[in-house]
Amino acid sequence: KGASNIFGQSYTDRTKDEWGWIHIDKIEQVDGADLSGNMRFIQPDDGNAADQSVLEVTLDKPILPGETAVFNLKWRARMPKTIARAGYSKDFYLFCHWFPQLGVFEQNLGGQWGWNCHQFFRTTEFYADFGVYDVRITADSKFVMGASGCLVNEKHHPDGTTTRHYHVEDVIDFAWSIYPRFT
């Protein structure tokens, strides 16, 4: 609290366009239920009503033990000007924490089940569950790309773009970066 920088980089002199964000446009359960009207921001850590880093979505019906549910999200994101470990600078892009991440429903040390999902604070780390990521990214072919996991294949397109397919298992985030002069 009260600090004016993150990892030695000032954030007090940034313009509105230099900040990043993620916005959920729509969330649907695969069975067809549109849950978009059930979204609301919560502030489980400090009650700051202006904080929009945790989005709660109330389900139409509970997911019972042993059941699974699949959801489709339509979302948009804007990467920030590079700060700490993510963002853009000229023709360099580092995508880390660039997609909506789920809170983790788990048992705490006292044996109680609940959500481990916290607001973003600049002096803390993100917490997420391990997952499997199978990602296809299309970008201008001038970029050299690096990403979490293994490159499965790449396809060059006539429009000057390349789609790269990456796969990784048991990681807590999928990060990727592009820059035309990577070696």
Model confidence pLDDT, tens digit, residues 105-126: 899 999 999 999 988 877 777 7
pLDDT digits (tens, 9 = 90+) for 5-29: 554 556 677 788 888 888 999 999 9
Amino acid at 96: C
d(CA 161, CA 39): 36
The whole model's pTM is what? 0.78
- Alpha-carbon distances of 27 from 78, 122, 135, 151, 169, rounded to whole Å: 19, 27, 20, 29, 25
Query: Which of 135, 168, 172 has the alpha carbon at shortest distance from 150?
Result: 168
Q: Which residues contact 170 (CB under 8 A, 6 or more apart)?
A: 130, 131, 132
Q: Is 159 exposed, middle or buried (0-12, 13-18, 19+ CB in 10 A)?
A: exposed
